[in-house]
Structure 1
């Protein structure tokens, strides 16, 4: 769990993408938003998707495995739906119950 979180964070830092961390374990609204916005085919048989689930605003990008594949293929910006280095915002839900909000303009947005 921690290794996957560190992988995402390290990659964001290497790309110099600003981020903030929010704990989804203590925020029911954020947790419910994440669960509600993961597509059905990505939900486990239990029906409850576990972080990390990666979003660009409300657009679902993928889970950690999909992120890892995109990283290996050098297609992370495409995976995130971004054109580097244009302005963008991405929401990351990490495995240790953290949410990361990203914006180059430091205009952080919380999930409602």
Structure 2
């Protein structure tokens, strides 16, 4: 699949993404999502670095209606941080095999966040 490669340090890939996103968009901030490092827009988390509840990777709020197939990713799942509750359908976690697509999906999540009331 296009973009599918391995990386030796997923946390560094996240840090690189954070620096890029924050340099492109004024008003973006860092914060926390369930104890994970996150990016915020208007005080709402739209992306975070997942270490559990969906594996290691980029957690992104893409919305329930997002066409995930259009992202061209194969290493993903809905965020499922709670053992006794169903997955959070607004959120996906993109694994490290598709890390080359993290920036594109983070930008999509950011645009979705700024369009949300």
What range describes the TM-score normalised by the shorter chain of this pair? 0.3 to 0.5
More strand by share: 2
Q: TM-score, normalised by structure 2?
A: 0.35
Q: Which has the higher contact order (CA 8 A, sep 6+)?
A: 1
